Structure 1
Protein backbone atom coordinates (compact mmCIF):
# COMPACT_ATOMS: atom_id res chain seq x y z
CA UNK A 1 0.00 0.00 0.00
CA UNK A 2 1.13 3.51 -0.67
CA UNK A 3 -0.26 6.73 0.66
CA UNK A 4 -2.75 8.42 -1.64
CA UNK A 5 -2.21 11.95 -2.78
CA UNK A 6 -4.24 14.18 -0.49
CA UNK A 7 -4.37 17.91 -1.08
CA UNK A 8 -2.06 19.39 1.55
CA UNK A 9 -0.19 22.64 1.95
CA UNK A 10 3.07 21.66 3.65
CA UNK A 11 3.63 25.27 4.82
CA UNK A 12 0.44 25.24 6.92
CA UNK A 13 0.44 24.36 10.61
CA UNK A 14 0.37 20.59 11.14
CA UNK A 15 -3.09 19.40 12.26
CA UNK A 16 -1.51 17.40 15.12
CA UNK A 17 -0.72 20.74 16.82
CA UNK A 18 2.95 19.95 17.41
CA UNK A 19 3.75 23.59 16.63
CA UNK A 20 5.54 22.65 13.40
CA UNK A 21 4.36 23.08 9.83
CA UNK A 22 3.03 20.00 8.06
CA UNK A 23 6.15 19.69 5.88
CA UNK A 24 8.39 19.46 8.96
CA UNK A 25 6.09 17.25 11.01
CA UNK A 26 3.57 14.65 9.81
CA UNK A 27 3.69 15.46 6.08
CA UNK A 28 6.78 13.33 5.26
CA UNK A 29 5.37 10.40 7.27
CA UNK A 30 2.04 10.58 5.41
CA UNK A 31 3.88 10.82 2.09
CA UNK A 32 5.97 7.74 2.94
CA UNK A 33 9.20 9.76 2.75
CA UNK A 34 10.22 8.78 6.28
CA UNK A 35 9.04 6.46 9.02
CA UNK A 36 7.63 7.77 12.29
CA UNK A 37 10.50 7.52 14.81
CA UNK A 38 8.25 6.94 17.84
CA UNK A 39 4.81 5.59 18.68
CA UNK A 40 3.72 9.15 19.52
CA UNK A 41 4.91 10.43 16.15
CA UNK A 42 2.89 7.70 14.44
CA UNK A 43 -0.14 8.61 16.56
CA UNK A 44 0.25 12.23 15.51
CA UNK A 45 0.52 11.23 11.84
CA UNK A 46 -2.62 9.10 12.15
CA UNK A 47 -4.55 12.02 13.68
CA UNK A 48 -3.30 14.21 10.83
CA UNK A 49 -4.45 11.55 8.36
CA UNK A 50 -7.94 11.66 9.90
CA UNK A 51 -7.90 15.47 9.75
CA UNK A 52 -6.84 15.43 6.08
CA UNK A 53 -8.89 12.41 5.00
CA UNK A 54 -5.82 10.31 4.12
CA UNK A 55 -7.42 6.84 4.29
CA UNK A 56 -4.41 5.10 2.78
CA UNK A 57 -1.98 6.32 5.46
CA UNK A 58 -4.37 5.06 8.12
CA UNK A 59 -4.45 1.62 6.52
CA UNK A 60 -0.71 1.46 5.80
CA UNK A 61 0.10 2.42 9.40
CA UNK A 62 -2.24 -0.23 10.85
CA UNK A 63 -0.85 -3.61 11.95
CA UNK A 64 -1.72 -6.25 9.30
CA UNK A 65 -3.26 -8.55 11.94
CA UNK A 66 -5.81 -5.94 13.09
CA UNK A 67 -6.17 -3.74 9.98
CA UNK A 68 -9.65 -3.66 8.43
CA UNK A 69 -10.00 -4.54 4.75
CA UNK A 70 -11.51 -1.11 4.05
CA UNK A 71 -11.93 2.10 5.97
CA UNK A 72 -14.79 4.54 5.48
CA UNK A 73 -14.17 8.01 6.87
CA UNK A 74 -17.04 10.27 7.88
CA UNK A 75 -16.38 13.28 5.66
CA UNK A 76 -18.68 15.44 7.79
CA UNK A 77 -16.33 15.09 10.78
CA UNK A 78 -13.65 17.75 11.16
CA UNK A 79 -10.83 16.70 13.51
CA UNK A 80 -9.30 19.91 14.87
CA UNK A 81 -7.35 19.24 18.06
CA UNK A 82 -5.14 16.50 19.47
CA UNK A 83 -3.98 16.30 23.07
CA UNK A 84 -1.41 13.64 23.95
CA UNK A 85 -2.33 12.71 27.52
CA UNK A 86 0.46 10.19 28.15
CA UNK A 87 2.94 7.87 26.50
CA UNK A 88 4.41 4.64 27.73
CA UNK A 89 7.50 3.26 25.99
CA UNK A 90 7.31 3.75 22.20
CA UNK A 91 10.74 5.36 21.86
CA UNK A 92 13.05 4.69 18.90
CA UNK A 93 14.62 1.94 21.03
CA UNK A 94 11.39 0.16 22.08
CA UNK A 95 9.48 -2.64 20.34
CA UNK A 96 6.07 -1.63 21.72
CA UNK A 97 4.43 1.50 23.00
CA UNK A 98 1.21 3.02 24.19
CA UNK A 99 -0.20 6.50 23.62
CA UNK A 100 -3.24 7.87 25.42
CA UNK A 101 -4.81 10.82 23.67
CA UNK A 102 -7.91 12.94 23.33
CA UNK A 103 -8.94 14.01 19.83
CA UNK A 104 -11.59 16.69 19.30
CA UNK A 105 -13.97 16.94 16.36
CA UNK A 106 -16.89 18.91 14.94
CA UNK A 107 -19.71 17.51 12.88
CA UNK A 108 -21.98 20.36 11.87
CA UNK A 109 -23.08 22.04 15.12
CA UNK A 110 -22.09 18.99 17.17
CA UNK A 111 -18.79 19.00 19.03
CA UNK A 112 -17.25 15.94 20.59
CA UNK A 113 -14.09 14.13 21.50
CA UNK A 114 -12.56 10.68 21.39
CA UNK A 115 -10.41 9.52 24.29
CA UNK A 116 -8.35 6.41 23.49
CA UNK A 117 -5.42 4.40 24.81
CA UNK A 118 -3.73 3.10 21.65
CA UNK A 119 -1.21 0.28 21.39
CA UNK A 120 1.63 0.35 18.88
CA UNK A 121 4.31 -2.12 17.89
CA UNK A 122 7.07 -2.38 15.33
CA UNK A 123 6.40 -4.42 12.22
CA UNK A 124 9.16 -4.76 9.65
CA UNK A 125 11.06 -2.03 11.52
CA UNK A 126 8.23 0.53 11.37
CA UNK A 127 5.78 1.65 14.03
CA UNK A 128 2.21 0.49 13.38
CA UNK A 129 -1.07 0.93 15.23
CA UNK A 130 -2.35 -2.33 16.76
CA UNK A 131 -5.57 -1.39 18.53
CA UNK A 132 -7.07 0.92 21.09
CA UNK A 133 -9.40 1.10 24.05
CA UNK A 134 -11.89 3.96 23.87
CA UNK A 135 -13.08 5.38 27.14
Structure 2
Protein backbone atom coordinates (compact mmCIF):
# COMPACT_ATOMS: atom_id res chain seq x y z
CA UNK A 1 0.00 0.00 0.00
CA UNK A 2 1.44 3.37 -0.95
CA UNK A 3 1.79 6.35 1.42
CA UNK A 4 -1.25 8.16 0.05
CA UNK A 5 -3.52 5.20 0.75
CA UNK A 6 -2.12 4.73 4.26
CA UNK A 7 -2.68 8.43 4.95
CA UNK A 8 -6.23 8.37 3.54
CA UNK A 9 -7.18 5.21 5.46
CA UNK A 10 -5.72 6.59 8.72
CA UNK A 11 -7.49 9.92 8.29
CA UNK A 12 -10.80 8.23 7.45
CA UNK A 13 -10.50 5.86 10.43
CA UNK A 14 -9.76 8.78 12.77
CA UNK A 15 -12.75 10.77 11.50
CA UNK A 16 -15.06 7.75 11.80
CA UNK A 17 -13.85 7.05 15.36
CA UNK A 18 -14.43 10.68 16.39
CA UNK A 19 -17.90 10.70 14.81
CA UNK A 20 -18.75 7.38 16.49
CA UNK A 21 -17.78 8.69 19.95
CA UNK A 22 -19.52 12.05 19.52
CA UNK A 23 -22.70 10.48 18.09
CA UNK A 24 -22.84 7.72 20.74
CA UNK A 25 -25.38 9.36 23.05
CA UNK A 26 -27.59 10.50 20.16
CA UNK A 27 -27.65 7.04 18.61
CA UNK A 28 -28.21 5.31 21.95
CA UNK A 29 -24.82 3.60 21.95
CA UNK A 30 -23.51 2.34 25.33
CA UNK A 31 -20.70 4.94 25.54
CA UNK A 32 -20.06 8.62 24.89
CA UNK A 33 -18.41 11.80 26.07
CA UNK A 34 -19.70 14.68 28.16
CA UNK A 35 -18.11 17.88 29.45
CA UNK A 36 -18.11 18.94 33.09
CA UNK A 37 -16.73 21.94 34.93
CA UNK A 38 -15.87 23.05 38.43
CA UNK A 39 -13.47 21.69 41.01
CA UNK A 40 -13.51 17.91 40.99
CA UNK A 41 -11.10 15.05 41.42
CA UNK A 42 -8.25 17.52 41.87
CA UNK A 43 -8.93 19.40 38.63
CA UNK A 44 -10.43 22.84 38.09
CA UNK A 45 -12.00 23.98 34.88
CA UNK A 46 -13.65 22.22 31.97
CA UNK A 47 -13.09 18.46 31.70
CA UNK A 48 -14.03 15.94 29.03
CA UNK A 49 -15.39 12.68 30.50
CA UNK A 50 -15.58 9.41 28.57
CA UNK A 51 -18.35 7.15 29.90
CA UNK A 52 -19.63 3.63 29.35
CA UNK A 53 -22.93 2.06 30.29
CA UNK A 54 -22.04 -0.22 33.20
CA UNK A 55 -22.91 -0.89 36.83
CA UNK A 56 -21.08 1.51 39.16
CA UNK A 57 -19.41 0.66 42.44
CA UNK A 58 -18.87 2.90 45.45
CA UNK A 59 -16.10 5.35 44.49
CA UNK A 60 -16.91 5.35 40.76
CA UNK A 61 -17.87 8.58 39.02
CA UNK A 62 -21.29 8.50 37.35
CA UNK A 63 -23.23 10.73 34.99
CA UNK A 64 -26.96 10.87 35.61
CA UNK A 65 -30.20 12.63 34.71
CA UNK A 66 -31.88 14.57 37.53
CA UNK A 67 -34.62 16.76 36.02
CA UNK A 68 -33.19 20.08 37.19
CA UNK A 69 -32.96 19.13 40.87
CA UNK A 70 -29.23 19.97 40.97
CA UNK A 71 -28.45 21.76 37.70
CA UNK A 72 -29.80 22.13 34.21
CA UNK A 73 -27.17 19.65 33.00
CA UNK A 74 -26.26 16.06 33.74
CA UNK A 75 -24.23 15.97 36.96
CA UNK A 76 -20.89 14.15 37.03
CA UNK A 77 -20.62 13.00 40.67
CA UNK A 78 -18.99 10.20 42.64
CA UNK A 79 -20.97 7.27 44.10
CA UNK A 80 -20.73 7.67 47.89
CA UNK A 81 -22.92 4.73 48.91
CA UNK A 82 -25.30 2.09 47.61
CA UNK A 83 -28.72 1.62 49.21
CA UNK A 84 -31.82 -0.41 48.44
CA UNK A 85 -33.27 2.70 46.73
CA UNK A 86 -30.24 3.29 44.50
CA UNK A 87 -26.86 4.97 44.54
CA UNK A 88 -26.08 7.97 46.77
CA UNK A 89 -23.97 10.55 44.92
CA UNK A 90 -21.76 13.41 46.02
CA UNK A 91 -19.79 16.04 44.14
CA UNK A 92 -16.10 15.94 45.07
CA UNK A 93 -16.18 19.61 46.06
CA UNK A 94 -19.34 19.18 48.19
CA UNK A 95 -19.30 18.36 51.92
CA UNK A 96 -22.71 16.63 51.61
CA UNK A 97 -24.43 14.07 49.42
CA UNK A 98 -26.87 15.17 46.75
CA UNK A 99 -29.70 13.20 48.31
CA UNK A 100 -29.39 14.49 51.88
CA UNK A 101 -29.31 18.21 51.14
CA UNK A 102 -31.04 18.87 47.84
CA UNK A 103 -33.45 15.94 47.79
CA UNK A 104 -32.14 14.62 44.48
CA UNK A 105 -33.49 11.21 43.48
CA UNK A 106 -31.21 8.23 44.01
CA UNK A 107 -29.24 7.18 40.94
CA UNK A 108 -30.83 4.05 39.47
CA UNK A 109 -30.73 2.17 36.17
CA UNK A 110 -33.48 4.48 34.91
CA UNK A 111 -31.64 7.77 35.39
CA UNK A 112 -27.99 6.66 35.17
CA UNK A 113 -26.30 7.66 31.91
CA UNK A 114 -22.99 5.90 32.52
CA UNK A 115 -19.82 5.41 34.51
CA UNK A 116 -16.82 7.65 33.76
CA UNK A 117 -13.82 5.60 32.65
CA UNK A 118 -11.49 8.41 31.52
CA UNK A 119 -11.27 12.18 31.79
CA UNK A 120 -8.97 14.87 30.50
CA UNK A 121 -8.88 18.67 30.73
CA UNK A 122 -10.23 20.44 27.66
CA UNK A 123 -6.89 22.28 27.37
CA UNK A 124 -5.04 18.94 27.07
CA UNK A 125 -7.54 17.66 24.53
CA UNK A 126 -7.29 20.89 22.54
CA UNK A 127 -3.49 20.79 22.55
CA UNK A 128 -3.54 17.12 21.57
CA UNK A 129 -5.83 17.79 18.61
CA UNK A 130 -3.75 20.81 17.60
CA UNK A 131 -0.48 18.85 17.58
CA UNK A 132 -2.15 15.92 15.78
CA UNK A 133 -3.35 18.24 13.02
CA UNK A 134 0.07 19.91 12.79
CA UNK A 135 1.76 16.50 12.66
CA UNK A 136 -0.55 15.24 9.91
CA UNK A 137 -0.03 18.47 7.97
CA UNK A 138 3.77 18.29 8.20
CA UNK A 139 3.78 14.59 7.28
CA UNK A 140 1.48 15.28 4.34
CA UNK A 141 3.65 18.12 3.07
CA UNK A 142 6.83 16.04 3.43
CA UNK A 143 5.31 13.07 1.62
CA UNK A 144 3.36 15.31 -0.82
CA UNK A 145 0.11 13.61 0.19
CA UNK A 146 -2.05 16.70 0.37
CA UNK A 147 -4.84 16.99 -2.18
CA UNK A 148 -5.44 20.74 -2.27
TM-score by length of 2: 0.21
Which structure dedicates a bigger proportion of its chain to strand? 1
TM-score by length of 1: 0.22
Which structure's CA Rg is the greater one? 2
